[in-house]
Structure 1
Amino acid sequence: MKQIFVLSAILIFISCSKNTTKTSNLTAGNKEITLEEIWDGTFSPKRMNALNSMNGNFYSLLNNKDGNTTIDKYSYASLEKIKTIVSSANLKGISTFSSYSFNDDETKLILGTELKRIYRRSKKGNYYAYDIASKKLSLIGKNIQEPKFSPDNKNVAYVKDNNIFIKNVISNTITQVTKDGKRNKIINGITDWVYEEEFGFVRAFEWNKKGNYLAFLRFDETDVPEFSMDIVGKELYPNQQVFKYPKAGEKNANVTLHMYNLTTRNIKKISLGKYEYIPRIKWSNNDAILVATTLNRHQNKLKLYKVNTLRTSSYNLLNETDDAYVDINDNLTFLSDNSFIWTSEKDGFNHIYHYNFNGKLINQITKGNWEVTRYYGYNESKKTIYYQSVENGSINRGVYSISLDGKNKKLLSNKKGQNTAAFSKNLNYFINTHSSAKTPPIYSLYSGEGEIIKVIKDNAALKEKLSGYNMTPKEFSTININGNDLNMWMIKPANFDENNQYPLLMFQYSGPGSQQVGNRWNGANDYWHNMLAQKGIIVVCVDGRGTGLKGRDFKKVTQKELGKFEVEDQIAAAKKLAKRSYIDENNVGIWGWSYGGFMSTNCILKGSDIFTTAIAVAPVTSWRFYDTVYTERYMQTPQENASGYDDNSPINYADKLKGNYLLVHGTGDDNVHVQNSYRMINALVEANKQFDMFMVPDRAHGIYKGKNMRLNLYTKMTNFIEENLNKE
């Protein structure tokens, strides 16, 4: 389950010099935010296009102008365009393209056209190989997935109809590597639904360094139960989407690792001992050694295996265990001597470690009661690692460098707010995106030593525009709940008067490892929250136990009890806030999306003595209905932990509803199935409880496709809040 933030704009809270009466909040002009402005792009910041780091001190951008699509090369040092690598105007056979990727030495490109989305990350389309020197364009295949050049530039591997193919771009011949692929049965080289969603990758094959071996995963979905959804569409009769979806406690696909030898055309199955998942495979710098990651079903025992292309057996390189679970990431990095960088929470906080190729710890590189949040890479010539962390407070992010031996740590970015770096491939430069609750995104070019070279975009025009609106800044603080100092932000009405009383609306997500209380420039939800503040509502967000970036123990306290401690914290926070003189204790609401919808539903049921109104968008209502990988990571199986599932399922507490409840769901949600809301509706009906609902045909988890979809949804939620919460 990934967080749904519904933030397509990016947002807000500008400080100005004028104080309002009886409040210390800084306000701006007199204009009020409208729903139409939130969703028509009025407040959208200027952004940089997603750049692709190239070899050397260069990057490329996909640009579109006057119907012409180009891939252009730029210099990091000057940010100036060097040349156009390819233009759709000069291509014969295709009129445009919407995706591209380079081969390793950047002499060739793969161009994608007519791409069609499958699930959150996956897509299929028509792909072409383009030789930059000769300007020759050739078809790789139509309706294919994930094409990738071999390092020797001779071949392109891809998947079509669940089988792996290799096309030799020199001889123009195609070899079919696997032949047993079949929809909803066998998948070769592409992940199944649950791997794509929860382990975050689609391409499940990798070339070795010489390009003479292809390692791939095979998914046998035969015994995985099917889930079906009716798609209303625009035809006379609906059609049905049927796909394999392993719900908690049910059978997963049987996933195995295989090695294809391009010379002999033989496939070997690799033994990896006992495991449930293979969430990562990666070749080391030794072209004969692959490293595979395995997890047991509880996901609390991770193993790294060294796989030699000459054998069918494997060698256990590293073991990582945890009483709760071990997170999966992409931080495994091999150095020239095949020692490797690894990140782990084993000392209680997520940090960077250095191991030799036999799995022996060389040293722990970062240390402290703070979390490394991103690993950017290792500059071998400078023996320097680059990373992002919360060393300056859990609501902030900074970009740092540190030597491989753990010395010479240096802050490279701004101290406050949140900073994210996009490094050049050689790590000599990075483009830093900095924002805070009061500062819209600022894009700046930095050297790898942290010297700012040039401000690229500062969004000053957006800041000036927002100064004309009646807005107030977020107030960050902590609130002590159940023995923990929880991070909190609050938005008060611009004309706030502490002698008056205001309704309170709480917003949260609350899922494991998540964070909503961050010192960053947010999106559409924050504009909406400010609009509600204009209507006289105080909006608050509290990150309770189970959320992230405050250490392993704080995050994993919810293990086997999703929805228990998080709900207790939201209820206790609401009661504590309601004691403040300026909050109306009889008008307290809560809302959330996805995991947040699960939370808001539980809160109005279990916290009916404080919450009077709740909105739940696309909520889980029983973890029995959600997928194996996400759910069992935190809950184990329903067979092992029935009480953990049932004691925290809002379905079982429908009879406790006293307040105003709005339930929203898209019927085409392949992630949190509408089954969750249907079962909640049945439980409420059986308990004879009145409620409101908004079911949107065919929309997926994000509920965004279609003209005015978000505007219509947020109008519905605004009206519901005004009718039920914002009472005189």
Structure 2
Amino acid sequence: MKKYFILSVLLAGLTTSLTAQDRQITLEEIWNGAFSTEGMDVLHSMKNGKQYSILNMDRQSKVVSVDKYDYNTLEKVETIVSTADIEDIRYFTSYTFSDDESRVLLATDVEPVYRHSKLGTYYMYDIQRKKTQKISNNKIQEPTFSPDGNKVAFVYKNNIYIKDLVSGETEQITSDGEKNKIINGVTDWVYEEEFAFVRAFEWNADGTDIAYIKFDESEVPEFSMDIYGNELYPVQQEFKYPKAGENNAKVSLFVYNLEKGNTKQVQLENAYYIPRIKWTSDADILSAQVLNRHQNDLELVFYNTKDASTKVVLNEKDEAYIDITDNLTFLHDNSFIWTSEKDGYNHIYHYGKDGKLIRQVTEGPWEVTDYYGYDAKTGRIFYQSVENGSINRDVYAIRLNGRGKERLSSQEGTNSATFSADFSYFINAYSSVSVPPRYTLNNARNGKEIKEIVDNDALLQKLANYNLPEKQFSTIHVNGYDLNMWMIKPADFDPNKKYPLFMFQYSGPGSQQVANRWAGANDYWYQMLAEQGYIVACVDGRGTGFKGADFKKMTYKELGKYEVEDQIEAARQLGKEPYIDAERIGIWGWSYGGFMSSNCILKGNDVFKMAIAVAPVTNWRFYDTIYTERYMRTPQENASGYDDNSPINHVEKLKGAYLLVHGTADDNVHVQNTMRMVEALVQANKQFDWAIYPDKNHGIYGGNTRLHLYTKMTNFIKENL
């Protein structure tokens, strides 16, 4: 086991007495927000590039406002809109400017539909006239300004509407929308969850056309969940959910012309999926990304509204799968910037408008992890990468010609950037395992820090009262690979004692849990467990991200094989350390991690004494098409891949203590997974513990729910490890 650096969660410069460090972390503190951090909410760079806006709320007066600040001075310039000045709106939770920033959409009474989608009551606020206008009397989805700011398109009950803000009239442009049958302009459940977008319509640059995707869910199998609520009888929630190997929604692409009032279908030959649409710099040219069912053949198609012609300008293929991103930027000449893993690592490419490669802009054995944009004035691209180690993130600039690369962030850890509209400034959000989130204003030309905006020194001062154990980063050589690992030992660690080991992992394709960033709520829980005499560790095994495509795609068609082997072998190796009790090793995970922890206690029953699985997939046949088939193909094509690595098929191997947890209203990983696992365990006559949380979704939260869950898990660990 090779250690390459150790970072403490306490700054060396903080001086506190020993008696002041006697406090112990409690679950109540963790889940009541005692260790929450300050940030910047709904940051928007103004079009002039010199100012930015933030959503603020005065907790005493409960006044919500959008305030404008100067980049150079960081001083507040003006209040753009405030609920103190509006009779119609008591509060709002988000805001969106029109292109010319003369108007702003305010979201109120927002309620979630699924993970990303929401319904809300929206108002347009005219900044100069200081007047509000309600977009619709109904709760609507995805209201979006036209380029001139005079219209708003939105979706209501699966149909698209356009509100004319000048005349006040509303036009309905689709009429066939129907729940669980036809959706226009917003995505279905599986697109929202796995392709990570909701709004499926786009204005062109002139505001003359709207492109939109239609989803025909008629043949998609329906899933239902009982919602128990507080009434005498439960109600049933029904929605279309395509499980692996089943029918997906049939998708088609249309363009509606506002002047003519007509709609034309875009003819796409290979469009099993349409995961992205985007208008190019030419208002007459629409781009669409189309994907086959196996998700390993991606086409970028240009559609010309003038002659209704289509052209495939780029085609990428992969032996495994292709990840969909938002990293597509069209330049003024309609050439475009694109990211791809085609050389084995995710990098930036520049293509001509005809789809011919101009050049690969970035290259090397490291990954581009985020794309921030292109500055036409300086010819520079701004991006984030792991060039400084796969557990770190840095902000870089490079010229479009691939020269002049410059690292703009200077501190080792996790850096991310929000650039001003003219790319002259960026706000750098930085944290590391020892430094809580810190926001600074930086010069985009050279990355130099200009001013600090937000720090979390108050949190550090609070944490100085606790004797917090360290999180130590290292690598561990497992199954021929150096895997990233972190470990938390008790603050009073004695190398001559033996400690129980509690492992955490997620392990899903392309994921990362071993990262040099500030603590989340779970980290405080791990530190609490360490205070109570446990060693906690996490290993990112094969299949996780940011170490190249081959490493990530190694688990293709075999989810739960190599990742499980790595966790079992890592546990074996750690059990050989003189300070770890090999007879007391446990593991836990949530979602994919619950799938993993279940497999580990079954396939590694000679290594793990206990396991906790929260909201686990227990058989990939129960999960959705897009995610599962991306990594496994269909059950019809790969039956053994599904069956050999599904925990539900290995229940007879259970020896240790096993806790199974699920929410009954989990629309993502259905409680069916746990119910079928329970039945299999019962029929195998295996004893286990389980907990069901009524009406809780995949996150299992609300009120005291998280506190209750983590209390249950903590007690289970103490009783069985």
Query: Which category describes the TM-score, using the shorter chain as reference length?
Result: over 0.9
Q: Is there any run of 5+ residues in structure 1 with no aligned partner, and where?
A: 1-10, 20-25
Match of 2:3 in 1: none
SS in 2 for 1:644: helix
Q: Is the 8 A contact 2:40 2:54 kept in 1?
A: no
Determine whether 1:325 maps to 2:325. no
Match of 2:98 in 1: 103
Instruction: Report the AA paired with residue 117 of structure 1.
Output: P
Query: 1:12–1:216: structure 2 CA closer, same or farther, 3 Å change rule?
Result: farther
Q: Is the 8 A contact 1:438 1:473 kept in 2?
A: no
Which of 55, 73, 83 is matched with 2:47 structurally?
Answer: 55
C-alpha distance in structure 1 between counterparts of 2:321 and 2:208, whole Å: 36
Map 1:168-567 → 2, pairs under 5 A: 168-449=164-445, 450-567=447-564
SS in 1 for 2:621: helix
Deviation track 1:126-149 (CA, whole Å, cap 9, x = no partner) reads 112222112221121121111111
How far residue 414 of structure 1 moved from its aligned partner, in angstroms, is 2.2
Deviation track 1:217-268 (CA, whole Å, cap 9, x = no partner) reads 0000000000000000011111000000000000000010000011111110
Map 1:563-642 → 2, pairs under 5 A: 563-642=560-639
Match of 2:683 in 1: 686
Map 1:24-35 → 2, pairs under 5 A: 29-35=21-27
Instruction: Report the AA paired with residue 48 of structure 1.
Output: M
Instruction: Report the AA paired with residue 51 of structure 2.
Output: F
Q: Is the 8 A contact 1:15 1:27 kept in 2?
A: no
C-alpha distance in structure 1 between counterparts of 2:460 and 2:82, whole Å: 35
CA RMSD of aligned residues (A): 1.6
TM-score of the pair, normalised by structure 2: 0.96
Which of 119, 123, 135 is matched with 1:124 structurally?
Answer: 119
SS in 2 for 1:440: coil
SS in 2 for 1:553: helix
Deviation track 1:335-384 (CA, whole Å, cap 9, x = no partner) reads 11111100000000000000010001111111100000000000110100
Instruction: Report the AA paired with residue 589 of structure 2.
Output: G
TM-score of the pair, normalised by structure 1: 0.96
Determine whether 1:43 maps to 2:31. no
C-alpha distance in structure 1 between counterparts of 2:318 and 2:605, whole Å: 36
Deviation track 1:185-217 (CA, whole Å, cap 9, x = no partner) reads 000001000011111111100000110101000
C-alpha distance in structure 2 between counterparts of 1:476 and 1:112, whole Å: 42
Q: Is the 8 A contact 1:28 1:472 kept in 2?
A: no
C-alpha distance in structure 2 between counterparts of 1:181 and 1:459, whole Å: 48
C-alpha distance in structure 1 between counterparts of 2:659 and 2:436, whole Å: 33
Instruction: Report the AA paired with residue 57 of structure 2.
Output: N
Q: Is the 8 A contact 2:614 2:660 kept in 1?
A: yes
Which of 643, 664, 668 is matched with 1:667 structurally?
Answer: 664
Q: Which has the higher contact order (CA 8 A, sep 6+)?
A: 1
Instruction: Report the AA paired with residue 662 of structure 2.
Output: H
Q: Is the 8 A contact 1:14 1:28 kept in 2?
A: no
C-alpha distance in structure 2 between counterparts of 1:64 and 1:539, whole Å: 38
SS in 2 for 1:509: coil
How far residue 27 of structure 1 moved from its aligned partner, in angstroms, is 13
SS in 2 for 1:600: helix
C-alpha distance in structure 2 between counterparts of 1:226 and 1:300, whole Å: 27
Q: Is the 8 A contact 2:255 2:263 kept in 1?
A: yes
Match of 2:4 in 1: none
Determine whether 1:94 maps to 2:89. yes
Query: 1:299–1:116: structure 2 CA closer, same or farther, 3 Å change rule?
Result: same
How far residue 17 of structure 1 moved from its aligned partner, in angstroms, is 8.3
How far residue 166 of structure 1 moved from its aligned partner, in angstroms, is 0.9
Q: Is the 8 A contact 2:216 2:251 kept in 1?
A: yes
Name the count of aligned residue pairs: 708
Identity %: 63
Query: 1:562–1:669: structure 2 CA closer, same or farther, 3 Å change rule?
Result: same
C-alpha distance in structure 2 between counterparts of 1:498 and 1:85, whole Å: 59
C-alpha distance in structure 1 between counterparts of 2:681 and 2:70, whole Å: 60
SS in 2 for 1:557: helix
Query: Please, which moves more after superposition, 27-36 or 538-547?
Result: 27-36
Q: Is the 8 A contact 2:8 2:472 kept in 1?
A: no
How far residue 493 of structure 1 moved from its aligned partner, in angstroms, is 0.8
How far residue 89 of structure 1 moved from its aligned partner, in angstroms, is 2.2
Match of 1:5 in 2: none
Deviation track 1:589-614 (CA, whole Å, cap 9, x = no partner) reads 00000000000000000000000000
Instruction: Report the AA paired with residue 608 of structure 2.
Output: F
How far residue 673 of structure 1 moved from its aligned partner, in angstroms, is 0.3
